């Protein structure tokens, strides 16, 4: 993927992974992390939550005259959204619940300008192999699961839990660059 001459972009996220991914399509952006409450609403699906939170982040970080990109990622297992766990005990339960199962990863985004908002999402299916309690404990001892939706990072040691991916791995990491680049090029060039 080639970088594009896009400019005046704000990334409303402090995630180093999203910064790295956005650099694949443009080098001309600034990072202004949004401080929004990521508490899910009662009964909210992962799609609804990621689109809502991405929009709130884009609005919170928007600067007049700029293009602001807000992004949020959640897992969803059997209809239950999987966000960032509040501690290692919650992460342990989450990882145990995903062992041997397929779950959905949703990354929602909002691209905001002064005049409009483009809101959408991307979905990838991830299948975990059967993982043991000991493997989970070893992972939790070496990694901070509270930084990641669904308690693990596929781009790091968490990839060992994954048996199969159906979709874009960048959706799982947190920014589907091909989709975002296509929107930038079709709306802002």
Q: CA-to-CA distance for 121 and 46, rounded, in angstroms?
A: 10
Selected catalytic residue, list 28, 37, 72, 160: 72
Does 72 qualify as catalytic in the annotation? yes
Alpha helix positions (H), the chain: 16-22, 46-61, 88-98, 133-142, 169-173, 177-188
Residue 166 vs residues 56, 72, 86, 101, 123: alpha-carbon distances, Å: 29, 20, 28, 13, 9
Element (H, E) at 126: strand 117-128
- Asked if residue 61 lies in contact with residue 26, where contact means CB atoms within 8 angstroms, the answer is no
Bridge partners (DSSP) of residue 75 are 82, 105
Residue 4 vs residues 23, 25, 93, 163: alpha-carbon distances, Å: 10, 6, 42, 34
* Catalytically active residues, by annotation: 72
């Amino acid at each position: 993927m080639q970088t594009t001459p896009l400019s005046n972009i704000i990334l409303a996220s402090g995630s180093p992974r999203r910064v790295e991914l956005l650099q694949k399509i443009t080098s001309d952006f600034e990072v202004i992390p949004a401080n929004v409450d990521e508490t899910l609403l009662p009964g909210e699906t992962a799609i609804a939550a990621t689109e809502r939170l991405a929009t709130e982040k884009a609005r919170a970080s928007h600067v007049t005259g700029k293009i602001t990109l807000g992004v949020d990622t959640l897992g969803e297992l059997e209809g239950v959204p999987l966000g960032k766990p509040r501690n290692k005990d919650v992460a342990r339960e989450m990882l145990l619940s995903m062992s041997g199962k397929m779950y959905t990863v949703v990354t929602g985004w909002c691209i905001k300008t002064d005049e409009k908002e483009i809101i959408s999402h991307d979905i990838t299916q991830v299948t975990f192999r059967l993982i043991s309690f000991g493997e989970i404990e070893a992972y939790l001892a070496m990694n901070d699961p509270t930084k990641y939706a669904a308690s693990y990072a596929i781009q790091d040691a968490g990839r060992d839990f994954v048996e199969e991916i159906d979709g874009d791995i960048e959706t799982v990491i947190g920014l589907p660059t091909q989709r975002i680049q296509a929107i930038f090029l079709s709306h802002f060039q």
